[in-house]
């Protein structure tokens, strides 16, 4: 059953299911090690890998994250490749060439892996929006796989920036130095600001693979406070359901 879309502030929001599965053995750890103090049961963590398509009333489209990519993606070492983003886009009536902007929340391979296909931009007419801090701190491997093939198509932004139709990106460092989230109307698309529902129950709970766990927790607390004050609706990348209304 596909996810259901919603409309916020005149913008249709389609959650797209790129993949579902556990983390590969190379980086999988028991949940209490992944989320210290948050998860006490060592059950299986089955991640959804999710992107979002935003379409305004004029038909302009923005893709938020590009999923894990093809069989040869850098994500293949730990995520269930290939991703199904392209089929999901077709399901909601969007062709790759229609996408005007691709917002990459951060350069981890499950969010940026589908940005490039066969060494070229997978969305040929799009600008790719990335925070300066994310590019400045990218590893040589990420520069080679993602950043250089995107080349001139990258639009580097700094901090909080509006795109169009009320769609904004906000710099939210911690998980990675240049992590960004997306705001449209009352909805916030959180990328990897939140990985697991235990971090909603207690936003101080760190994630093993946060680049700077303390900064990530401070950012998470700040953002969730603001989101709560503004209606409390989030769209996550890895929770079982796309949309969550904060208590």
Nearer residue to Zn ion within complex by CB, 11 or 243: 243
Residue showing tokens 């491997």: 141
161 three-class SS: strand
Which of the stretches 108-116, 135-143, 156-164, 212-220 binds Zn ion when contact is defined by CB under 5 A? 108-116
Nearer residue to Zn ion within complex by CB, 11 or 31: 31
CB-based contact 69:75 (threshold 8 Å):
yes
Nearer residue to Zn ion within complex by CB, 56 or 110: 110
CB-based contact 146:112 (threshold 8 Å):
yes
Number of residues that bind Zn ion (CB under 5 A): 3
Q: Is 127 in the site for Zn ion (CB under 5 A)?
A: no
Q: Cβ of residue 200: shortest distance to Zn ion, in angstroms?
A: 16
Cα–Cα distance measured from residue 129 to residue 139, given in angstroms and rounded to the nearest whole number? 18
CB-based contact 167:183 (threshold 8 Å):
yes
Q: Is 192 in the site for Zn ion (CB under 5 A)?
A: yes
Q: Is 108 in the site for Zn ion (CB under 5 A)?
A: yes
Write each residue from 36 to 75 as x if it is in contact with Zn ion (CB under 5 A), else as -, in one continuous string: ----------------------------------------
Neighbouring-strand partners of residue 128 = 102, 154
Residue showing tokens 């259901």: 4
DSSP string, 219-245: HHHHHHHHHHHTT-EEE-SSSSSSEEE
Nearer residue to Zn ion within complex by CB, 18 or 192: 192
Which of the stretches 81-89, 102-110, 124-132, 216-224 binds Zn ion when contact is defined by CB under 5 A? 102-110
Q: In the sheet where 46-55 sits, what is the strand order?
A: 6-8, 11-22, 46-55, 61-64, 99-103, 127-131, 154-157
Which of the stretches 30-38, 163-171, 188-196, 220-228 binds Zn ion when contact is defined by CB under 5 A? 188-196
Cα–Cα distance measured from residue 197 to residue 215, given in angstroms and rounded to the nearest whole number? 19
Question: Residues 56, 110, 127, 210: which binds Zn ion (CB under 5 A)?
Answer: 110
Nearer residue to Zn ion within complex by CB, 107 or 167: 107
Q: Is 84 in the site for Zn ion (CB under 5 A)?
A: no
Residues near Zn ion (CB under 5 A): 108, 110, 192
């Amino acid at each position: 059953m596909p996810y259901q879309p919603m409309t916020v502030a005149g913008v249709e929001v389609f959650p797209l299911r790129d993949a579902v599965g556990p983390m590969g053995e190379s980086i999988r750890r028991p949940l209490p090690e992944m989320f210290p103090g948050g998860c006490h049961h060592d059950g299986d963590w089955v991640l959804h890998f999710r992107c979002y398509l935003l379409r305004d009333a004029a038909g302009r489209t923005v893709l938020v994250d590009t999923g894990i990519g093809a069989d040869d993606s850098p994500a293949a070492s730990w995520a269930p490749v290939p991703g199904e983003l392209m089929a999901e886009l077709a399901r909601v009536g969007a062709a790759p060439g229609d996408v005007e902007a691709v917002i990459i929340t951060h350069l981890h391979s499950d969010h940026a892996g589908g940005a490039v296909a066969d060494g070229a931009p997978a969305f040929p007419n799009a600008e790719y929006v990335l925070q300066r801090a994310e590019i400045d701190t990218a590893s040589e491997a990420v520069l080679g796989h993602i950043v250089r093939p995107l080349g001139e198509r990258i639009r580097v932004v700094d901090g909080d920036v509006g795109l169009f139709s009320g769609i904004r990106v906000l710099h939210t460092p911690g998980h990675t130095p240049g992590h960004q989230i997306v705001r449209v109307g009352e909805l916030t698309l959180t990328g990897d600001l939140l990985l697991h529902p235990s971090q909603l129950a207690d936003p101080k709970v760190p994630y093993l693979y946060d680049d700077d766990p303390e900064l990530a927790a401070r950012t998470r607390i700040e953002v969730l406070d603001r989101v709560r004050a503004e209606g409390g609706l989030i769209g996550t990348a890895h929770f079982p359901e796309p949309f969550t209304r904060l208590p």
